[in-house]
Structure 1
Amino acid sequence: MKAFRELVERSIATGSLAGVEDLLADDVVFRSPVAHKPYPGKAITTAILNGVARVFEDLHYVSSIEEENRSALVFEARIGDITVNGCDFITTNDEGLITEFTVMVRPMSGATALMEAMGAQFPQIQADAVAFAEQQR
């Protein structure tokens, strides 16, 4: 999805994806490469994506595949000394808002580093999701 890619490329270095919530449908579902259960909802997805912005260093997209309402954005990033290769699989609705966001990463050392780094972020992610949900009321 071009709008998401442009947002990431413009703002990832700041440690925040300000405005990402404007690209998400209210009923968006986020599927993590390191968590079994999906995370439903705009508040938690916004918070997770901002958490990722704090964890990934030097994230850049290397290629993409676009077809109708589905996109695959292939990326590279670092977490400390570990290089991570991954792909964001994005599905959008008729209004162009993201309804499904699935992330896959490799190698296993990268997935492990991501799991540990995001685990450390999770208290902040939960607090951000609650704050976002309260703002939307």
Structure 2
Amino acid sequence: MSVSGPAAPSTSPISTAITALRAAGESGDADAVAELLAPDVVFHSPMTSRIRFEGKEEVTALHRDIFAVLEDIHTTEPLARGDTRSFSFHARVRGVELEAINLVRFNDQGQIVEFTVFVRPLAGLATLFAALPPRVSARRRGRLRGATVAVLTRPLAFVLRTADRLTPRFL
């Protein structure tokens, strides 16, 4: 039995799309993400199961907001199973490190039909929670609502970042 060199990379529409999605994320290019989205795409919020963003326009606008608050995005190689890909990324939000996992489902044409994002550690999620929802709320509902959301989220983020720093001292 002979063993040949490594298998050639897959050039399926899904493989091509996940490569493009990772590149768009690392460069903060929401327009490039838009080119990959199915018209009926759904994005599940990492902060609450009560919010989902639906449709190509809304998910593209959300990515503009995401890229406005995240810095230094670096992705990892994807894991694959059927029509789904998963990859992690590291970034900073307001100087706080975060790590996230994107779970992305594609259709047969290689268009993204569903995003689910999971974020850790708690301090990173809390800081993202203080930065992103006020921006999204201001875009969708007006500046006053955005300011109201900011007033509600900032203290929570402060408490959770503080708990993240202090709790390990007691464990």
Say what the alpha-carbon RMSD is for the aligned residues.
1.6
Instruction: Give the TM-score normalised by structure 1.
Output: 0.82
Question: Is 2:26 aligned against 1:18?
Answer: no
Check conservation: 2:42, 2:53, Cα contact below 8 A: yes
In the alignment, which residue of structure 2 is the partner of 1:115? 129
Query: Which of 47, 67, 75 does residue 81 from structure 2 map onto?
Result: 67
Alpha-carbon distance in structure 2 between the residues aligned to 1:51 and 1:75: 17
Aligned residue pair count: 123
Query: What secondary structure is seen at the aligned counterpart in 2 of 1:112?
Result: helix
Would you say the 8 A contact 2:31–2:60 is kept in 1? no
Structure having the larger proportion of residues in helix: 2
- Superposed structure 1 runs of 4+ greater than 4 Å apart: none
Q: In structure 2, how many angstroms separate the alpha carbons of the residues matched to 1:28 and 1:100?
A: 6
2:65 equivalent to 1:48? no
Q: CA offsets, 1:78-116, max 9 Å, x none? A: 012210011111000011100001111001111111111
Higher relative contact order (CA 8 A, sep 6+): 1
Compare the two structures and name the one with the higher strand fraction: 1
Amino acid at match of 1:112: A
Which segments of 5 or more consecutive residues in structure 1 lack a partner in the other structure? 128-137
Q: Work out whether residues 44 and 125 of structure 1, in 8 Å CA contact, stay in contact via their aligned partners in 2.
A: no
Q: TM-score, normalised by structure 2?
A: 0.66
Q: Quickly say closer, same or farther: Cα 1:76–1:62, change in 2 above 3 A.
A: same
Q: Give the deviation of 1:124 after TM superposition.
A: 5.2
The residue type paired with residue 24 of structure 2 is L
Residue equivalent to 2:112:
98
1:67 Cα deviation (Å)? Answer: 2.8
Give distance in 2, aligned partners of 1:121 and 1:64.
29
- Sequence identity percentage: 32
Greater Cα radius of gyration, structure 1 or 2 = 2
